[in-house]
Amino acid sequence: MSSSSAAAGGAVSVPIDESIYGQELERLVQSKGVLRAKGYTLEQLSPGELEKKQRCGRCYKLYTQNPWRTDPYYYDDNYSDEDAYVAQNPDGPTAGPQSQPKPRRPSGICLYHDGEQENKVWTCCGQKIPCKGEDFHSSKAAYTNAELAERWKFFTTLTTDRNQVGPRRAIVIDCEMGVSVMGDMELISLAAIDYFTGEVLINSLVSPLVSMRHYNTQYSGISGKDMHEARKAKACFRGRNQARKALYPFIGPDTIIIGHALENDLNALRLIHPRVVDTQIVASNLASARRDAHKMLQAQEGSGGDGMAGAYTTGYQNNRGLKSLAWECLRRNIQTGGHDALEDVRATRDLLQWHLVHVVPLKASNPEAYFPIF
Ligand SMILES: [Zn+2]
Ligand SMILES: [Zn+2]
């Protein structure tokens, strides 16, 4: 085992000196404009935004308008699932002379079952693939307006007593999400550590209070069996509200919450927090500085030059995943197999600290510095 992989996951985190890096971290707190542009929720959803969360009462797909289709509504789900794959590939890659003929999906954009699901089997057809299809979604909504408002109610970090011991200066969080039978993303795990000390504050599964279609096991590493066992042992939070409340003792309005593409985590927690450092934004800003430096070098070398400027690499890309950044900057191979929520929060913490140690001083000494690609 290499030293870099030993540093991931279960290893004890090295404390970070708050007196040196506290101020540097403050400077990276992102503006509301930047956060809003990235999809952060900064105030309660408006009636118009709530309407976009509504789902078809027949197939439970989102009622999101799509200008590229003549259909009035478009299926917009961030997570693919095997049902959707099978539905789109009725003959599938495994189809051959020996394989069973797969049932074909009906045509139309609203694909659904009109029966009930009992023990994961549809009473209408006994198949996973929807057995009914219509050209348009149902005007019947899956949620009432009151249900929608309740489901999507956000909570702003509370003002706490300045003398309260609890709130940390900065914490790093990571959440996993699964998909409910209605198609909504639901919080299924929460991990939180203190940025400076590395202390583990929370590391727990979150059992959603609604029926789940799947736990996105391939990416979350969490299975239905894991959740079942955690519930039996009473070793998980019951619903997102309980998980969010468990964070409250550690966060005040001044706490910096750090995460990678943190808008997804805060949305899943239904938390509005004013002070955020998103390592995906930090990395994108670095990529943009690299692109500028690259262009400058190219201009200096002339159009035919193939010198220092070189070719674009992943180091120039925006919105990169944690896995590729952890490898580039930390030479740490994460998310290789078994689920370890702490692995992700520690990688996020160390990625940000790498930035504070290697990039911030370089930029301070020379604003036009050419940032090395690792
Ligand atoms: Zn059916
Ligand atoms: Zn529909």
Interval 252-269: pLDDT, tens: 999 999 999 999 999 999
- Dist. CA 51–CA 329, nearest whole Å: 41
Spacing, Cα 148 to ligand 2 middle (Å): 17
Spacing, Cα 19 to ligand 1 middle (Å): 62
Identify the band that residue 237 occupies on the pLDDT scale cut at 50, 70 and 90.
Answer: very high
Beta bridge partners of 110: 134
Spacing, Cα 220 to ligand 2 middle (Å): 28
Spacing, Cα 129 to ligand 2 middle (Å): 14
Identify the band that residue 184 occupies on the pLDDT scale cut at 50, 70 and 90.
Answer: very high
Q: What is the pLDDT of residue 159?
A: 73
Spacing, Cα 211 to ligand 2 middle (Å): 19
- Dist. CA 364–CA 305, nearest whole Å: 29
Residue 12 has which token pair? 């004890």
Spacing, Cα 210 to ligand 1 middle (Å): 21
Torsion of CA 47, 50, 51, 53, to 10 degrees: 180
Q: Is the pLDDT of residue 197 over 60?
A: yes
Residue 145 has which token pair? 């307006």
Give the DSSP per-residue string, 115-156: S-EETTEETTTS-SS--EEESS--SSBSS-HHHHHHHT--EE
Q: Residue 347: which residues within 8 A CB-CB, separation 6 or more?
A: 8, 322, 326, 330, 332, 334
- Residue % of the chain over a pLDDT of 90: 48
Interval 31-79: pLDDT, tens: 999 999 999 999 999 999 998 899 988 898 887 644 334 344 444 443 3
* Residue-range domains of the chain with CATH: 1-43+167-374 (3.30.420.10), 47-153 (no CATH)
- Residue % of the chain over a pLDDT of 70: 77
Write down the mean pLDDT value for the chain. 82
Q: Is the pLDDT of residue 142 over 60?
A: yes
Q: Is 294 buried (19+), middle (13-18) or exposed (0-12) by CB count in 10 A? A: buried
Spacing, Cα 113 to ligand 1 middle (Å): 4
Element (H, E) at 173: strand 170-180
| Number of C-beta neighbours around residue 69 at 10 A | 11
Look at strands 155-156 and 271-272 and give their pairing: parallel
Ion ligand 1 nearby residues (CB, 5 A): 113, 122, 124-125, 131
Q: What value does the mean pLDDT take over residues 336-365?
A: 84
Interval 292-320: pLDDT, tens: 877 877 777 765 545 555 566 667 788 88
- Ligand nearest to C-alpha 133: 2
